[in-house]
Amino acid sequence: MTKDRGFDPETPHTGDDDFPELELSDEDILDAMQYIPGFLDISTADFREIYHYAHRHALERLFGRVRAGSLMRAGIEPLHPDTILQQAIAVMARQGLKSLPVVDAGNRVVGILTESDFLRRLQADTFLELLLRLVKDIGSFRHRCHETPVSEAMCAAPVTIGEDAGFFTIIKAFHRHDGRSMPVVDAGGLLRGLLLRKDFLDACHLENLL
């Protein structure tokens, strides 16, 4: 038998891929062993390590072919830094999206604009609060929408992901931010599409994971 290699039963195991994994305590393992007939010459540490390797293997078997390029929404109409918010809202609504990449003249991703960014720029935390502000001061709302360019409201340097990114890379990227989507780019950083968190979770049947 081997010694414990540093697993902490109180801390969820994530490994290099930031994929959440249920950690087994010694009590869990010893209880499970009671259901296996015969004598098991294995330590709880070795049992736990086998579990982690088996978990990783199962994920690779189930999701090894997942690629961002196959799950992304291609052909989206992006925004530009000098687009005013009023136009940006219309572009987002027309495509049924709650966020859109912002690209420069060369189609390189320079930011992303989300509903939250829009609300923040209009000094509202929720759409209900925004409606109340509209009732009280429609003039201020119009001014902000007509005069503010996307560049002043967007999140610059957003998290992006490559077309060939696989399951673990996508998981890790989504863990880096709370947004609903990520721009998908090619090797040169040019926009190829938009990967929605919902689309990824639905495709992998992981609705309760992220």
DSSP per position, 148-199: -BGGGTSEES---EETT--HHHHHHHHHT---SEEEEE-TTSBEEEEEEHHH
- Using DSSP, state whether 20 is helix, strand or coil: coil
- Using DSSP, state whether 78 is helix, strand or coil: coil
Averaged pLDDT score across all residues of the chain: 83
Q: What is the pTM of this model?
A: 0.72
Judged against a pLDDT cut of 80, whether residue 38 lies above it is answered with yes
Judged against a pLDDT cut of 50, whether residue 12 lies above it is answered with no
Q: What is the pLDDT of residues 39-74, one digit of tens each?
A: 889 999 999 999 989 988 888 888 888 999 999 999
Between the alpha carbon of residue 8 and those of residues 25, 32, 59, 69, 73, the distances in Å are 8, 19, 22, 36, 40
Is CATH 3.40.1000.10 the classification given to domain 68-204? no
pLDDT at 7: 36
**Model confidence at 136, in pLDDT bands (50, 70, 90)?**
low
- Sketch the domain layout of the chain as residue ranges: 15-63, 68-204
pLDDT at 151: 95
DSSP-derived letter for residue 114 is E
Most confident of 36-40, 88-92, 103-107, 177-181: 103-107
